[in-house]
Structure formats: C-alpha cells, structure tokens
Structure 1
Amino acid sequence: FQAVGRVAGAGTSSHTHSYQFTDASLARYTGGQVYYRLRQVDEDGASTYSAVRPVQVPAEAGLLVQAYPNPSVVATPVTLTIRVDHAGPVALYLTDLLGRAISQQQTDLPTGLSALSLGEANQLASGLYLLWVQQGRQQQVLTLLRQ
C-alpha cells in the first residue's frame, strides 16, 4: 500500500463525523480492481488500520483483460483473455506488490478477443501479484492471487 492522501480529523467528539476523499491517481486506471485501507492516527500517535476494501474501476471501451483461474494454485497455468478495439502491440508487465519486475512481454493482437497464456505465472510462488496490461494510452491492472 502507498499513501494517496490525508484528511484531518475533527478531534474527539460525541458526534458522528463523515469524511470524504477523492483519489486523484485513480484516473490513470482504465479498469481492474484497486484496494484501499484507512489508517487512523489518534492524537497520542497510536494508529490503527481499517479492513481492506476493493474498488472496481470500470474498463473503458477498448481494452478489457481477464485472468483465469484467479485465484490459482501454484503450477497452474493462467490464461488471459484480452479484448482490443484495434489491432496492435499489447505490453504485459508482471510485478510483485512492491513493484519489482518479474516479467514483461509485448505481443501483437488482432482486433477483438484473444486468449494468451501467462507462462511466467506457472513459476510464481504463493502471493499477490500485479499484471499491468497496456495498449497505447489504455491500461488495465489485474491482481493475481497464487495460493
């Protein structure tokens, strides 16, 4: 997780307070799921975290990517279905949650729906991974879970 913003609290009160925050960085995502959690810091400096909440970002027309099976077990092949509105190169970047590159590849896809094996996923250890798929200015990020 990385901080996306900060909202000052209203202090100690017997009244209920509502807070709002808009994640400006969300605009760069064109589909997939992002995860949020809140960190509450008390006046004494102690902090607690909320439960993790997924937010589904709708995909724009053009690029749509799905992975199956997801979650998957170690040594099980992962297949991607990728829909593109125009033929051309599609870049795939697989990273761990710290952003360290695991693999990257580029492939030319025809217009429409294509199936693509994510062979590198067969060797992944248990854990969470991010798959960034990009065609031109469109990008989608998938979370892959290996069990």
Structure 2
Amino acid sequence: MTASELNNMGFEIERSVNSIGVRNLIWEKIGFVEGNGTTTETNHYTFINNSLSQGVYQYRLKQIDFDGTFEYSQVVEAEIFIADEFILNQNHPNPFNPSTTISWQLPLGSWLTLKVYDLMGREVVTLLNEYKPAGSYEIEFNASHLSSGVYFYTLKTDNNISTRKLLILR
C-alpha cells in the first residue's frame, strides 16, 4: 500500500534464494507490479508467489521511478509450511452467527471443491471450485442467508474427501 506516489513506474518483487543466517543474500526478480505514476491517492498492490516449497523466504521490493532511479524496501521474511497430509479442520467459531472460518491443508496441489450441505444432503452452496497448490488455506463462510441448524461441509480433492459438521445459531 502507498499513501501517495511520485514518478512511480512500479515495483520489482525480489526473493532471496539463500537460507536463514546467510549474510550476503542473493536476490532474484520474481515479478513486477506496475505503479500509478504520480498520485495523492492511496493505492493497494498485490503479488502472489505461488508454487513454493516449505521453508523460509526473504522478500524485498525495488521501487523504480520513470527516470530509472530506485529504492529498496526493508527485507521481510515469510515461513511457508506445507502439511505432509490432507487435513480439513473444524470450522471456528462453531456454533456461529453469521460467519465462520473453514481451514485446510493440502500436501500436494489439487483441484478441489468445498461445498456446504443441509441435513437432507442437499447442496446449499459451493464455496470453492478451483485448483490450489500445496499449502494451508482458509475461507470465510458467511451463512447470513441460511436458517439456524446443522449443516455439513465437504472438501473434495483429487485424492481425498473429508466432511465436518457446522452449527448455525441465530
């Protein structure tokens, strides 16, 4: 996020390929996000670094102006944990009103669907139907359109299926 910008061409995203504790980090460019030139508006930027292995990574931004000058951000670290087994966690809070969080871990990338069913087994909503790389995930489920009661959520992947119970209390 920037509060304002002056002559901002954009941001190179760089990642260190070294381990923790190495003094002279080696950086590689992994992406670029276009800036907004000169503006007094607040701007939000996003870059997603997919397909990472488990480990600790260091990142920094190289903010580049149109005249070629640049400045580096502070280095930030991100630890990536990849589960060694498929896990669908119990939603929390449970019971809930009106929203809850559903989380899971994937040891391998997979196409997945996350659906909610009523007590009669009728599909109420599909929360997710897409490919996800290995990693830990969570999604917020807003059930304000549903009646109080017991429901089930099921996560299906290429190799696994798991179901848990959730309770909506109004």
Structure 1 length-normalised TM: 0.52
CA distance, structure 2, for counterparts of residue 71 and residue 130 of structure 1:
12
CA distance, structure 1, for counterparts of residue 111 and residue 141 of structure 2:
16
CA distance, structure 1, for counterparts of residue 167 and residue 149 of structure 2:
6
The corresponding residue for 2:145 is: 123
Indicate yes or no: 2:137 matched with 1:114.
Answer: yes
Q: Which structure's relative contact order is higher, taking Cα pairs within 8 Å and 6+ residues apart?
A: 1
Indicate yes or no: 2:154 matched with 1:132.
Answer: yes
Question: What is the deviation of 1:81?
Answer: 1.1
Runs of 5+ unmatched residues, structure 1: 1-59
**8 Å contact kept, 1:63–1:138:** no
Indicate yes or no: 2:154 matched with 1:142.
Answer: no
The corresponding residue for 2:93 is: 69
Indicate yes or no: 2:123 matched with 1:89.
Answer: no
**8 Å contact kept, 1:78–1:122:** no
Task: Give the structure with the higher percent helix.
Answer: 1
Q: Which secondary structure state, in structure 2, belongs to the residue aligned with residue 123 of structure 1? A: coil
CA distance, structure 1, for counterparts of residue 103 and residue 131 of structure 2:
14
**8 Å contact kept, 1:63–1:135:** no
Q: Which secondary structure state, in structure 1, belongs to the residue aligned with residue 124 of structure 2? A: strand
Q: Which secondary structure state, in structure 2, belongs to the residue aligned with residue 68 of structure 1? A: coil
The percentage of aligned residue pairs carrying the same residue is: 24
Runs of 5+ unmatched residues, structure 2: 1-83
What value does the CA root-mean-square deviation take over the aligned residues? 1.9
AA aligned to 1:66 is: Q
Structure 1 residues 39-54: aligned runs within 5 Å = none
The 1:66/1:112 distance shift into structure 2, 3 A limit, reads farther
The corresponding residue for 1:31 is: none
Question: What is the deviation of 1:94?
Answer: 1.0
Question: What is the deviation of 1:89?
Answer: 1.8
Q: Which secondary structure state, in structure 2, belongs to the residue aligned with residue 67 of structure 1? A: coil
The corresponding residue for 1:30 is: none
Structure 2 length-normalised TM: 0.45
Provide Cα deviations, 1:4-56, integer angstroms capped at 9, x if missing partner: xxxxxxxxxxxxxxxxxxxxxxxxxxxxxxxxxxxxxxxxxxxxxxxxxxxxx
How many residue pairs were aligned?
85
Deviates more, 1:104-113 or 1:93-102: 104-113
